[in-house]
Amino acid sequence: MGTMTLRGIDEKTAEALKDKAKREGSSVNAVTLRLLRESLGLEKRKRNVRYSDLDHLAGTWSAEEEAEFERNTSAFEKVDEELW
């Protein structure tokens, strides 16, 4: 297919496209084409679910708590040879 030119794109939309392309590591053109195909029903939207319900726990353990966890779970690292 040939080239199409979009006119009258407002600054807010242009910035949103640029931001989305940057987040996805893609070009503005590729993002725009994908969004057009999705909105026209030519391509199914990919669900990329990102869970953040445990984010508040990240980085909250002290060094002592981490060491205790490692000690308490070290048995899980051992392979029972009789089972294999």
Higher pLDDT residue, 20 or 81? 20
Tell me the pLDDT tens digit for each residue of 48-60.
777 788 888 888 8
d(CA 75, CA 37): 52
The domains of the chain are located at 9-44
Helices 11-24 and 28-39: crossing angle in degrees, nearest 10, is: 100
> pTM to 2 decimals?
0.53
Tell me the pLDDT tens digit for each residue of 28-55.
999 999 999 999 999 887 777 777 888 8
pLDDT of residue 30: 95
Buried b or exposed e, range 8-17, using 16+ CB within 10 angstroms? eeeeeeeeeb
